[in-house]
Structure formats: structure tokens, C-alpha cells
Homo-oligomer: A and B are copies of this chain.
């Protein structure tokens, strides 16, 4: 429905990361989210659309307000992809690449 391209691209903006950080504390409306920024309300609405299209946040209807919250599944998808790299890095720790890397960078390290 919404790919990793869109998700990571959504995270590539500091305003949007700040919005997500704020939402990690709980729901918030557009105006609440816009207040901390020196940016117009439409700009924030557009950022929220990007986050929603990426599947990273969800919207609820409450009167004239539209509170947003984090979308668990969307965030987990990115998390899983990164997990692949993370475990690769753990496994490769003592492989040839790592050895070469350390020698090459001339940085001593805690080799085991």
C-alpha cells in the first residue's frame, strides 16, 4: 500500500521527525502540532499528509478537529528493514571485512 521509499522519505525531514516525536507522547491536533514551528498551518497539513500517505500516522475525527496518532504497523515496517542491517553488522563483527576495516581506518579498537 505504501512503500519503504515513502516511509524513509517522510523521515528525511526534521519537521516531520519532530511531529512524530511529539506524537510519541500522545495524540495531537493540527494546530497543536503547528504551534511550535515557525511555519504556516498549511505547511504542517502538508507534512501530515506526507506522514499519513507513508502509513506512519493515523487520523481520527472529533468535531472539527482531526487528531493524529502514530501508526504502529507503518513504523514497524521501517524498523524491520533496519533490523536486517543491524543483525548483519552484528554477525559481521569478526569477519574479514571488519578486520580490514579496523586496520585500514588506523583506529585501534577493542578487537576480540
List the interface of chain A (C-beta within 8 A of B). 4-6, 8-9, 11-14, 17, 20-21, 24-27, 49, 58-61, 69-70, 72, 75-76, 78-79, 81-82, 84-86, 88-89, 92, 95-97, 100-101, 104-105, 108, 110, 112
Copies of this subunit: 2
A49 CB, nearest partner CB in chain B, Å: 7
Given contacts A78-B82, A85-B75, contact A97 B27 (CB under 8 A): yes
User: Cβ of A13: which chain B residues have Cβ within 8 Å of it?
Assistant: 5
Can you list 19 pairs linking A and B with CB atoms under 8 Å apart?
A4-B12, A5-B13, A5-B14, A8-B11, A9-B12, A21-B84, A24-B84, A24-B85, A24-B89, A25-B88, A26-B92, A26-B95, A27-B100, A58-B101, A60-B100, A61-B108, A69-B101, A70-B85, A70-B89
